[in-house]
Structure 1
Amino acid sequence: MIAPTIESEVRSYCRNWPVVFDHGRGSRLFARDGRSYLDFFAGAGALNYGHNHPVLKRALLDYLEQDGVTHSLDMLTAAKQDFLTEFAARVLGPRRLEYRVQFPGPTGANSVEAALKLARKVTGRHTVVAFTSAFHGMSLGALAVTGNAAVRAGAGVPLGHTWRIPYDGFADGRVSGLTLLDTMLADSSSGMDLPAAVIVETVQGEGGVNPARATWLADLAELCARREILLIVDDIQMGCGRTGPFFSFEHAGITPDIVCLSKSISGYGLPMSLTLFRTELDVWQPGEHNGTFRGNNPAFVTATAALKEFWTDSRLEKQTAERDILFDEHLTEFAGRYPAQMAASRGRGLVWGLTFREPHMAGQVAREAFSRGLLVETAGSVDEVVKLMPSLTSTDEELSEGLGILGEAVAAAVGC
């Protein structure tokens, strides 16, 4: 039985999964009653390396036992310096990315706000181009570039300074957002001022697992460079290996001007975010953008441990590429089995979605999966997509188990 709560009505996930979780290990969460749940949710992408990974946990416990600094704002600490050293050596250096690293605050929305603010400061322009079905966070600046009407309505005030254009594949590919944007910018009578930046997700997660083609992303990057518009890639949910490479934009061969990272950058589910940008864009004055909790040293410790454990070579990336094929095959088979109910399966790496023609069916599949011990969430404009995000460290057996449960849940939902 769930105890009465004084928690706000705004709570959501606990309504879909009405059990009290007690502990987690690897790819599983365990309820107080002892039941095990296979986790294909992974903290909405904040737990790419699973729950309580032993190497990361040991590093954290050692740091705390030594009375390591916990809170430091942006003071110099050993934990921060160790992280920056490893991040430069294992992520930026091998990719020849000459980015400055800003710690804007603990959440992804903090990173997005810093990116938008910096782009406007650098260019002196106000407008930002965003895409249909985008999701970038719940603070006002991030909401302004988010597409979902229900989410935007929560702002309570007008959300402006944004041009919205179609994402790759919008309207079944019949409308080209990039052609529209380029044409509008070329026409002095279009009414569109030159924007400060374009912000994009290479795979839209909350928007329904919509992967952009590599060619489309390359065309977007070329357009931005030619028009002298800053390109911001929001890699908050899709970064840190979720699509295979450390950054989700690597497969497209592009170099964004600004990159937003959060969620799994700490490796352990601890709050942490980064805003990365080209060196010449570092026009901040000291303290011009700050936050009390931008120095979360325990997160620096686990982030450093994660870089050493998973990003010293290409093994994790190659494993995720192999699992991309596995999920593609299984979910394509699911969609083919129920063509009247399922519209499509799509994804990249270890983020996948099953789209249902009747939106309520996605929720029914998620409920059936939960009753069988599998955690999945829904996504999309009207929650019409079952979204799958297992941890990157799941075993082959766990992935097969989860796909098997999902198949049972789909069959049960279709039979209802």
Structure 2
Amino acid sequence: MTITQPDLSVFETLESEVRSYCRSWPTVFDRAQGSRMYDEDGHTYLDFFAGAGSLNYGHNNPVLKRALIDYIERDGVTHGLDMSTTAKRAFLESFQNTILRPRDLPYKVMFPGPTGTNAVESALKLARKVKGRESIVSFTNAFHGMSLGSLAVTGNAFKRAGAGIPLVHGTPMPFDNYLDGRVPDFLWFERLLQDQGSGLNQPAAVIVETVQGEGGINVARAEWLRELAALCKRRDMLLIVDDIQMGCGRTGAFFSFEEAGFVPDIVTVSKSISGYGLPMALTLFKPELDVWEPGEHNGTFRGNNPAFVTAAAALETYWADGMMEKQTLARGEQVEQGLRAICDEHARLGAEYRGRGLVWGLEFTDKTRATAIARRAFELGLLIETSGPESEVVKLLPALTITPDELDEGLRTLARAVRETA
């Protein structure tokens, strides 16, 4: 695909140097539909990025778009803080009837603000308030957001350094298989909890991702997660599952922890909960943890009513009959087959793959190769990003609604990009 140099002058002169994705994809996008994006020069890109997991149902999903247009055209409330609105009621009822009740999950629902890091901050605050303790345990290579509390439980050194101040009250522990199976699970963690001389204050909570997306597509085993849940219960610590990127069906089930068969005390949800890419976040917690005073945690944009509209439409369209989970798992098998073929072809490069559902990673011995592959894929019309502490993993995050033919096309393009950068 021939790409003419786009006019990026206003972005380069006026926009902050902090911008990132636009550097990897140097074009000006104009429109998008389904799993395709189009730039202003008419070039087409197959999207294996899906708004970093915010577009599980694709760009401008027609069912969700129709619901949103109808709501706007009738002058439905747009901004409502935490006021009761018909849009909020419709979402809550749909979420309760479609998601919570069928899974026998008793959670209360909190709207903490429109972003994932809002949800994490409220989860950490609530855990500390409930337990009366400060310390939070997180895991190596975790990513939980860019505000100070979230950064304190994030592993990435580059992102942590941006805080500019010491990040306190967070203690990292080894994620599943961090020590390559040479040490029994949680040996270090439990020994520190037992030892009065360890220097570890009794934690209020543990926060974990079942699959570390930004950390490099590190997939926790179901048995490791169950053992962690048991440890938290045994040691009087709340368990927080950060499902911001891996929830809303990304791993197959609506919540990524369902497969492991445990119920977290607190769950954070964002990204694809609105279904349409509109800002929205939830903090879910067991009823006995609802010790908030009115207004103790608030935010001007915590009641994004257009997002409630598209979220309810997404739940009713995709989660009422159980077919979305089956489809995602089938698409995941298709991706796994494609990645296995790539790894077989490039075994001499140390190619390895890992993932669940429709989140997958591809890694090579040479840690710089992932960036080169992503760059070449863009030139070939495929949008993929990298992840991991050294951007060493090619990350595949297509929409859950992607077709088998589109998946095959993207995997062929990825295979070509790997071949042409080998």
Coarse TM-score class (shorter-chain normalised): over 0.9
Counterpart of 2:36, as a letter, is R
Residues 204-225 of structure 1, C-alpha deviations (whole Å, 9 max, x = no match): 0000001100000000001001
Percent identity between matched residues is 63
3-state secondary structure, aligned to 1:406: helix
* CA distance in structure 1 between the aligned counterparts of 2:59 and 2:279, rounded to whole angstroms: 15
Match of 2:7 in 1: 2
Counterpart of 1:410, as a letter, is V
Match of 2:3 in 1: none
Match of 1:277 in 2: 285
Moved more, 162-171 or 70-79: 162-171
Identify the match of residue 127 of structure 1 among 124, 135, 145: 135
* CA distance in structure 2 between the aligned counterparts of 1:198 and 1:94, rounded to whole angstroms: 26
* CA distance in structure 1 between the aligned counterparts of 2:350 and 2:378, rounded to whole angstroms: 20
Match of 1:286 in 2: 294
* CA distance in structure 2 between the aligned counterparts of 1:187 and 1:350, rounded to whole angstroms: 41
Identify the match of residue 402 of structure 2 among 388, 394, 413: 394
* CA distance in structure 1 between the aligned counterparts of 2:326 and 2:412, rounded to whole angstroms: 23
Match of 1:104 in 2: 112
**Alpha-carbon distance, 1:283 to partner:** 0.1
* CA distance in structure 1 between the aligned counterparts of 2:185 and 2:113, rounded to whole angstroms: 32
Question: What TM-score results when the alignment is normalised by the length of structure 2?
Answer: 0.97
Give 1:343-382 correspondences, 5 Å limit.
Answer: 343-382=351-390
- Find out whether 1:155 has 2:160 as its counterpart: no
* CA distance in structure 1 between the aligned counterparts of 2:63 and 2:416, rounded to whole angstroms: 34
Match of 2:303 in 1: 295
Counterpart of 1:63, as a letter, is Y
Counterpart of 1:260, as a letter, is T
Match of 1:37 in 2: 45
3-state secondary structure, aligned to 2:180: helix
Counterpart of 1:55, as a letter, is V
Counterpart of 2:158, as a letter, is A
* CA distance in structure 1 between the aligned counterparts of 2:183 and 2:38, rounded to whole angstroms: 46
3-state secondary structure, aligned to 1:68: coil
- Find out whether 1:216 has 2:221 as its counterpart: no
* CA distance in structure 2 between the aligned counterparts of 1:18 and 1:321, rounded to whole angstroms: 33
Q: 8 Å contact 2:185–2:224 — kept in the other structure?
A: no
Residues 59-95 of structure 1, C-alpha deviations (whole Å, 9 max, x = no match): 0000000000000000000000100000000000000
* CA distance in structure 1 between the aligned counterparts of 2:152 and 2:240, rounded to whole angstroms: 15
Q: Which stretches in structure 2 are left out of the alignment for 5+ residues?
A: 1-5
- Find out whether 1:229 has 2:237 as its counterpart: yes
3-state secondary structure, aligned to 2:386: strand
Residues 284-337 of structure 1, C-alpha deviations (whole Å, 9 max, x = no match): 000000000001000000000000000001111001111222222221221122
- Find out whether 1:333 has 2:341 as its counterpart: yes
Identify the match of residue 261 of structure 1 among 243, 255, 269: 269
Residues 343-389 of structure 1, C-alpha deviations (whole Å, 9 max, x = no match): 41000000000012111110000011001100000000100000000
Moved more, 184-193 or 369-378: 184-193
Moved more, 326-335 or 111-120: 326-335
Match of 1:12 in 2: 20
* CA distance in structure 2 between the aligned counterparts of 1:104 and 1:137, rounded to whole angstroms: 14
**Alpha-carbon distance, 1:8 to partner:** 0.3
Counterpart of 2:285, as a letter, is F
* CA distance in structure 2 between the aligned counterparts of 1:211 and 1:307, rounded to whole angstroms: 26
Q: 8 Å contact 1:342–1:354 — kept in the other structure?
A: no
Residues 246-291 of structure 1, C-alpha deviations (whole Å, 9 max, x = no match): 0000000010000000000000000000000000000000000000
Q: 8 Å contact 1:244–1:321 — kept in the other structure?
A: yes
Q: 8 Å contact 2:138–2:154 — kept in the other structure?
A: yes
Q: 8 Å contact 2:79–2:301 — kept in the other structure?
A: yes
3-state secondary structure, aligned to 2:127: helix
**Alpha-carbon distance, 1:176 to partner:** 4.5
Structure 1 vs Structure 2 CA RMSD = 0.9
**Alpha-carbon distance, 1:177 to partner:** 5.4
Counterpart of 1:396, as a letter, is P
**Alpha-carbon distance, 1:342 to partner:** 3.3
Give 1:240-251 correspondences, 5 Å limit.
Answer: 240-251=248-259
* CA distance in structure 2 between the aligned counterparts of 1:165 and 1:339, rounded to whole angstroms: 32
**Alpha-carbon distance, 1:172 to partner:** 2.2
Counterpart of 2:160, as a letter, is R
Residues 184-210 of structure 1, C-alpha deviations (whole Å, 9 max, x = no match): 112222222210000000000000001
Q: 8 Å contact 2:151–2:159 — kept in the other structure?
A: yes
* CA distance in structure 1 between the aligned counterparts of 2:143 and 2:172, rounded to whole angstroms: 12
Counterpart of 1:2, as a letter, is D
**Number of corresponding residues:** 414
Moved more, 328-337 or 359-368: 328-337
Match of 2:87 in 1: 79
3-state secondary structure, aligned to 2:109: strand
Counterpart of 1:399, as a letter, is L
* CA distance in structure 2 between the aligned counterparts of 1:33 and 1:398, rounded to whole angstroms: 22
Q: Which stretches in structure 1 are left out of the alignment for 5+ residues?
A: none
3-state secondary structure, aligned to 1:173: coil
Q: 8 Å contact 1:166–1:176 — kept in the other structure?
A: no
